[in-house]
Structure 1
Amino acid sequence: MHKKLPVLLLTSVFVVATCGLIYELIAGTLASYLLGDSVTQFSTIIGLYLFSMGIGSWISKYFEKDILFWFIQIEILVGLVGGTSSSILYLVFESAASFRIILYGLVGITGTLVGLEIPLLMRILKDRYEFKDLVSRVFTFDYIGALLASIIFPLLLIPYLGLIKTSYLFGILNVGIALVVCLNFQKEIKSVAYLKVAAIVCLMALLTGFVFANAITSYSESLGYNDTIIYSKSTNYQRIVLTKKGKMLRLYLNGNLQFSSDDEYRYHEALVHPGLSAIPGAKKVLVMGGGDGLAVREILKYPSVAQISLVDLDPGMTNLFKSNPMLLELNKSSLLSPKVKVINADAFTWIREQKEKYDFIVIDFPDPSNYSVGKLYSNSFYRLVRSILSDGGLIVVQSTSPYVAPKSFWCVNKTLESVGFFTIPYHNYVPSFGDWGYIMAAAKPGYKLPAAFPGNLRFLTREGLVQMRHFPKDMQTVETEINKLNNQALVKYFEEEWGAVSYQ
């Protein structure tokens, strides 16, 4: 056997493992962006990928001759399928009736091909090493490659390259290693001319895709949005897309509408002022979520407020709303105010370490569409919130639609009550979303309607708040479970109620 072969093939094991896990992570991330519920998507895709690898390993026994030829050919196919998969999924999402079939089909094909590679490599190398050395070397390189992929994917690849460029890059690596092996051992491989042409053609196609990845991303995203996309970026935590139509701006996170500049003031005035106006002389305010600074803009209308702490997980979000001129105009440069301290941290982790008390707490997280967000609506989290609320203080929680999702809304209410809060539910019509719900809560009973609101509000009035506290027959209280970390009942309610509804 050629002396270079073991080194090259062990390098191939490393590349195969790294690329294979990257393709798996890309599919899971993309599915969570497009379909929501990241836990379900990642769990399903990981399970299918591993199952498909098992199928590939079983099929490998039928490859009896010209194993090096088949290994190179499979390596080229892995690079082509894995490298183009994210582009295909983005492009078909809006038009394909059975998107999940395409998604799982690509994951299954990739997993099967990757599952074929390792057994074939071990059979090629079996005459070079003793069995125990062969197994230890192959799986050492395999696991090191997997570790590298899991580290660089969230820290480097997604923030700096994005999903589509990343998939093309690793497709290029797969095909590149196949071409290197082919060129070094062309005398030992049958049909070598075919393999070289196939590798070069696939390599050129993947390089073209890498060069035009941004254009592919822009085009595929434009299919899913009615308005012109003026900003898009994948951060470590989410896909941020900002669109513009005339003077109207819309923000989407992972494809879900967060606000429209035409009517966001209705949402944010209703979120902030019913509570803050009822606390004369409030000095310290905490906002969790709300990285757009729009709730903070409303809070800054109170001269008595001396300190605002904003806790938002994603620095990509807060930096955008501290720097983009159009967004600065919208939020009145609120995140640049000397009164505001921006903290980029997971709120659940951050709040555990807090001993400081706050007069008013705004909880403005995204809807509980997955378990990672659902924990921020749990009784465990609300118990921690209660511990940092000052005497006489109030909190307010955005609580989805009591009309479309009554179980979800009243589950938030019941969960707050379960930790000793006295709740004041209310709702408000926001044209972009429909009827939307909020729940104020206090550690002691006795909420009193504010005597007045700041004079520069566009929507909220004292009389309007009275109406907001009235729930008609079709939005009356329904019985629900308490949302706990170990049951995540709220996520189940949310999926059940919003599952068939598009509210983009």
Structure 2
Amino acid sequence: MNAALFVTVLLIAACGLIYELVAGALASYLLGDSVLQFSTIIGTYLFAMGVGSWLSRFIHRGLASRFVSIELMVAVVGGFSSTLLFLAFAYTDAFRPLLYLLVSLIGIFVGLEIPLLMRLLRDRLEFKDVVANVLTFDYLGALGASLLFPLVLVPYLGMARSALLFGIINAAVALWSTYLFRDALPNRRRLQAGSVLVLALLVAGFAGAERITRTAESSMYADPVVLTRNSPYQRIVLTAWRGDLRLFLNGHLQFSSRDEYRYHEALVHPGLAAHPSPKRVLVLGGGDGLAVREVLRYPGAEVTLVDLDAEMTRLFSKHREMLKLNGGALLSPRVRVINADAFRWLAESSETFDFAVVDLPDPSNYAVGKLYTTTFYRLLRQHLNPGGMMVVQSTSPMFARTAFWSIERTLGEAGLRTWPYHVYVPSFGEWGFILAGTGDYQTPARLPAGLRYLTAEAVAGLFQFPTDMRRIPVRANRLDDQVLVRYYSSEWEQITQ
């Protein structure tokens, strides 16, 4: 009996942490700035747990009934939390208030659970054993949840179904508790009926979660959603309308098939075509294979692609429409795909390259921002052969002017000479890139055949900036002070307000 009670502690601890992780991850997906979202959600959750623990002192009678009732309430609120947040983001302006309301309610319920359970156990065990065992299993449950969440739940179930699964577990604990505490439950039949009802509701929600999520997501995008994937790192969404295929990562547009060639030709060819004979090319990010497609236009070039997300490279290696778009670039025998963190891979690798393409997401959070620091660029510089260069996608010099020039200054402080340039991409507007190296640069006299947009004559013009996009005083981005993330977030928030 005591073993069953301690397993109950483990399960409710795991459930509580899963709801917190779901809220933090979902807020990061939809709002960005993962550090801010997780910090405020963890703080709110812990504070609410304290409130729940304090409130438990006012419960004097019917402890077992209260415990079962609280389990059912946290099962419903926590289980449906992700679904409610998706719907709120899609259809209302109340996402943030609902987010913190749900986190607060779950925290209060979880804060009530453990004190009540400890009081129920005090007649069975000595107080010191109650405290030691309850806290031990509480921490074990938290550990299990923290491992399951990124490795199993997010990749295979997604946010909505993960929350609902643990809601089902909470409701099952409530039903199980009506048996464990049957002698202390005068209203046992009513609580059992309530537990079965909540279980049925959550199971139905689990079965329909993907449909609900798809419906909510469809309203978030202008075009019909044709494919969704969850990975440990991001939510991948593809939309399609009249031949225009668009990729969104965590809600942010990555490309439109109608004009992506402008972006990728401008990213790769001004720098790579200037190299007399590129043999080894490194691409960091760019798991869609579109930058790799452009590199493969150079007959002697072999490509190493390093992208964190295996789901991205798998999707763009197998999906029929994706293969059509990238020309099967990731399947080429000249391409080696490595799924790893770019920072860590560079730190561990001794390979050198003639050219590097840094096609990473915008620095909207600190996890990505570390790949835009002086430390990262110095590390990448060590992997360039003599005369080698790199190009960095650098957000918009029009809409994120401070961020763009901060990237340029960061490259300069990493010991590199820089040549910033920009191009107009209809889906994005003005977009910026920065070439960097330790030698000299001259615009190429010729470009590969078959380009749809860029010409050798047009390359020189890309390096000219109008007055409203020219260099401004900024700070460099450092690993211990990621000012770039703050620049970027501040500028894009002004655009979207």
When normalised by structure 2's length, the TM-score is 0.98
- How far does residue 78 in structure 1 lie from its aligned partner after superposition? 0.6
Q: Which residue of 1 aligns with 2:397?
A: 402
Q: Which residue of 2 aligns with 1:430?
A: 425
3-state SS of 1:460 partner: coil
Separation in structure 2 between the aligned mates of residue 80 and residue 100 of structure 1, nearest angstrom:
20
Supply the RMSD in Å over aligned alpha carbons: 1.2
Query: Does the 8 A contact of 2:281 with 2:303 survive in 1?
Result: yes
- How far does residue 184 in structure 1 lie from its aligned partner after superposition? 4.7
Query: Does the 8 A contact of 1:66 with 1:190 survive in 2?
Result: no
The amino acid across from 1:238 in the alignment is Q
Query: Does the 8 A contact of 2:71 with 2:113 survive in 1?
Result: yes
3-state SS of 2:474 partner: coil
Q: Which residue of 2 aligns with 1:278?
A: 274
Q: How many residues align?
A: 497
Separation in structure 1 between the aligned mates of residue 229 and residue 41 of structure 2, nearest angstrom:
24
3-state SS of 1:145 partner: helix
Confirm or deny that 1:469 pairs with 2:469.
no
- How far does residue 190 in structure 1 lie from its aligned partner after superposition? 2.9
Percent of residue pairs identical: 53
Q: Which residue of 2 aligns with 1:448?
A: 442
Q: Which residue of 1 aligns with 2:451?
A: 457
In structure 2, runs of 5+ residues without a counterpart are: none
Residue of 488, 494, 497 corresponding to 1:494: 488
- How far does residue 502 in structure 1 lie from its aligned partner after superposition? 4.1
When normalised by structure 1's length, the TM-score is 0.97
Q: Which residue of 2 aligns with 1:91?
A: 87
Confirm or deny that 1:261 pairs with 2:253.
no
Separation in structure 1 between the aligned mates of residue 91 and residue 319 of structure 2, nearest angstrom:
32
Q: Which residue of 2 aligns with 1:204?
A: 200
Question: What is the 5 A alignment of 1:159-308?
Answer: 159-305=155-301, 307-308=302-303
Alpha-carbon displacement from aligned partner over 1:230-267 (angstroms, at most 9, x marks no partner): 11011011110011112110000000000000000000
Separation in structure 1 between the aligned mates of residue 281 and residue 292 of structure 2, nearest angstrom:
9
Question: What is the 5 A alignment of 1:92-107?
Answer: 92-107=88-103
Confirm or deny that 1:151 pairs with 2:147.
yes
- How far does residue 187 in structure 1 lie from its aligned partner after superposition? 4.4
Separation in structure 2 between the aligned mates of residue 65 and residue 8 of structure 1, nearest angstrom:
23
Separation in structure 2 between the aligned mates of residue 225 and residue 141 of structure 1, nearest angstrom:
43
Separation in structure 2 between the aligned mates of residue 372 and residue 163 of structure 1, nearest angstrom:
20
3-state SS of 1:218 partner: helix
Query: Does the 8 A contact of 2:88 with 2:94 survive in 1?
Result: no
The amino acid across from 2:265 in the alignment is E
- How far does residue 112 in structure 1 lie from its aligned partner after superposition? 0.5
Q: Which residue of 2 aligns with 1:30?
A: 26
3-state SS of 1:417 partner: helix
Q: Which residue of 1 aligns with 2:112?
A: 116
3-state SS of 1:212 partner: helix
The amino acid across from 2:69 in the alignment is Q
Query: Does the 8 A contact of 1:293 with 1:335 survive in 2?
Result: yes
Query: Does the 8 A contact of 2:268 with 2:357 survive in 1?
Result: yes
Query: Does the 8 A contact of 1:427 with 1:438 survive in 2?
Result: yes
Alpha-carbon displacement from aligned partner over 1:76-129 (angstroms, at most 9, x marks no partner): 001010000000000110222231110011000001100000000111111211
Q: Which residue of 1 aligns with 2:370?
A: 375
Query: Does the 8 A contact of 1:335 with 1:342 survive in 2?
Result: yes
Separation in structure 1 between the aligned mates of residue 147 and residue 481 of structure 2, nearest angstrom:
30
Alpha-carbon displacement from aligned partner over 1:21-61 (angstroms, at most 9, x marks no partner): 11111111111111111121111111111111001000000
Query: Does the 8 A contact of 1:401 with 1:437 survive in 2?
Result: yes
- How far does residue 500 in structure 1 lie from its aligned partner after superposition? 3.0
- How far does residue 474 in structure 1 lie from its aligned partner after superposition? 0.4
Q: Which residue of 2 aligns with 1:391?
A: 386
Q: Which residue of 2 aligns with 1:352?
A: 347
Q: Which residue of 2 aligns with 1:20?
A: 16
Range with greater deviation from structure 2 (184-193 or 230-239): 184-193
Query: Does the 8 A contact of 2:64 with 2:181 survive in 1?
Result: no
Residue of 75, 79, 83 corresponding to 2:75: 79
Query: Does the 8 A contact of 1:159 with 1:234 survive in 2?
Result: yes
Alpha-carbon displacement from aligned partner over 1:174-217 (angstroms, at most 9, x marks no partner): 01111121145444213333322221211111010011111112
3-state SS of 2:80 partner: helix
- How far does residue 462 in structure 1 lie from its aligned partner after superposition? 2.3
Separation in structure 2 between the aligned mates of residue 498 and residue 418 of structure 1, nearest angstrom:
25
Separation in structure 2 between the aligned mates of residue 275 and residue 11 of structure 1, nearest angstrom:
60
Q: Which residue of 1 aligns with 2:338?
A: 343
